Chains A and B, each alone.
Chain A
Amino acid sequence: MITFGMFGAGSTGRSQMHTAMDTLPERFGGLIDADLRLVFVETTPRDKDIQGLEVLSVEDFMALQGDDIYYNVSLAGPYKREEVADRLAATGHRPLTIFDTTTRLRYPNEFSEGALFSFSTMVSHDTKIGQFFHCLSFSMVPHNCTVSDFVTMTSRVNLGGFTEVGNHVFLGAGCLTKPGTPDRPLRIGDGATIGMGAAVLEDVPAGATVAGNPARILSK
């Protein structure tokens, strides 16, 4: 029996659970549905079941015993996601990356666990991706990019090649970044927020919020 817990039953959690349902049986070598237990995990569960699946409290999920217990965290906020991931990591349960059936991977690439890949996403060659990355629908990590830990790419994010994305960066829907070069990658600093539809032409300092076309700093 393999158990997979999705922390958060909000929109991303519900969507990605559907992907988990579709892909995990094959991923674990042709499991039948009866051998796979899918649960939502919530801090304070309000519903008994969501989409026909049971909802556990964090405490109950952490108390589960066994080697085959996996989890992912669907919270979009990078810092919140880290907090929950750290808490769950203490249990010995294992983070699991969820790929949509429409996700394309090119090689070589390097992954840490706990990522979520949604509909029509792609990871190109010579890329390196940190822990608990969120890559939502139609987004893509192009060639020679480095994405650090707890980065959130919402939908339709278009990075250019040779980009370095720091920890806890939040990329708003449909933003674009100019490609860097092999000698001089474009850098998005730790904790930066890129607004929806922004066109980023130069480095973004750590902690800054940028928006517009061309992107300008709103606050730091």
Chain B
Amino acid sequence: MITFGMVGSGGLGREMMYIAMPSLLQQFPGSTESDFRLVWVESEPQKSTVHDLPVLSVDDFIAEADDNTCLNIGIGDGYIRERLANQIEAEGIRPLQLMHPNSELRPGNDVGPGATISFQCLISTDITIGKYFMCMAYSMVVHDCVIGDYVTFATRVSCNGHVHIEDYVDAGNGAMIRNGSYEKPLRIGKGAKIGMGAVVAKDVPPGAVVVGNPAHILET
């Protein structure tokens, strides 16, 4: 029996949970649905079940875990994702990649542990992606991009070719990032936030918040 824990049963976690079964079936060839047990993991459980699946506390999940326990994290904030990942992985529980069967992953890619690729996404060729990348429905990452750890893409994000995205970057719905070039990749700095529908045509400094078409830095 393999146990899969989805950390967080909020909106994002519930959306991601339904990709878990097809991903498990694909990553454990020859298995059937009855080989897997799906559970929610919460810091402070409010309910005993969500969508008819049991909710465990983080401590109980860790206490029950064996070699056949894996997890993913359904939380949009990259920094919280990192904290929870470090806490749970320290107990020997490994991350599971979630990949919707309708998405396309082309050759020459290196996708890190714990990545989630939701419905109808495209990960084109020669892309490097770090840990716990979150790529929600209809998003795409095109050739020669480098994506850091704990990066979050909402739905319909377009990341064109030769773009380097550093750790913890958060891109809102429908954000568009122009392509860089082999000599000069377009760079989105660590922890930057890209607003909904923004059209990013040049580098974004670390920690900046950019919005609009063309995207400009939002002063706070």
- A15, A51, A156, A174: the one contacting B124 at CB < 8 Å is A15
For the complex, is B120 an interface residue (Cβ under 8 Å from A)? yes
Q: A14-B125, A138-B122, A173-B176 are in contact. Are A51 and B107 (CB under 8 A)?
A: yes
CA distance A213 to B212 in the complex (A): 10
Q: Is A18 among interface residues, defined by CB-CB distance under 8 A?
A: yes
Residue in contact with B178 in the complex, picked from A137, A196, A213, CB distance below 8 Å: A196
Contacts of A137 in B (CB 8 A): 122, 124, 140, 142
Note all chain B residues with C-beta closer than 8 A to A43: none
Given contacts A51-B108, A173-B178, A212-B213, contact A120 B122 (CB under 8 A): yes
The digit string for A118-145, where 1 denotes a CB below 8 A from any CB of B, is: 0110000000000000000110000000
A209 at the A/B interface (Cβ < 8 Å)? Answer: no
Min CB–CB distance B16 → chain A (angstroms): 21
Contacts of A11 in B (CB 8 A): 124-126, 142-144, 161
Is B158's CB within 8 Å of the partner chain A? yes
> Is B214 located at the chain interface by the 8 A CB criterion?
yes
Nearest Cβ in chain B — how far from A183, in angstroms? 31
A-B contact count (CB 8 A): 65
Q: Is the interface of B mostly helix, strand, loop or mixed?
A: loop
> A residues within 8 A CB of B161?
11
B side interface size, CB within 8 A: 26
Q: Does B37 contact A (CB under 8 A)?
A: no
Residues in B neighbouring A196, C-beta threshold 8 A: 160, 176, 178, 199, 201
Chain B residues closer than 8 Å to A102, beta-carbon distance? 104
Once A18-B107, A213-B213 are accepted as A-B contacts, the answer to whether A173 and B122 lie under 8 Å apart by CB is no
In the assembled complex, A155 has its CB within 8 A of some CB on chain B: yes
In the complex the two chains form, is B140's CB within 8 Å of A155's CB? yes
In the docked arrangement, what's the CA distance between A137 and B120, Å?
Answer: 11
Task: Judge if A197 is at the interface, Cβ distance under 8 Å.
Answer: yes
Q: Which residues of B contact A (CB under 8 A)?
A: 104, 106-108, 120, 122, 124-126, 138, 140, 142-144, 156, 158, 160-161, 174, 176, 178-179, 199, 201, 213-214
3 A-B pairs closest in CB distance: A11-B143, A197-B199, A174-B176
Binding site for B on A (CB under 8 A): 11, 14-15, 18, 51, 102, 119-120, 137-138, 154-156, 173-174, 196-197, 211-213
Would you give 13 A-B contacts (Cβ < 8 Å), ordered by A?
A11-B124, A11-B144, A137-B124, A137-B140, A156-B140, A173-B158, A173-B176, A174-B176, A174-B199, A196-B160, A196-B199, A197-B176, A213-B213
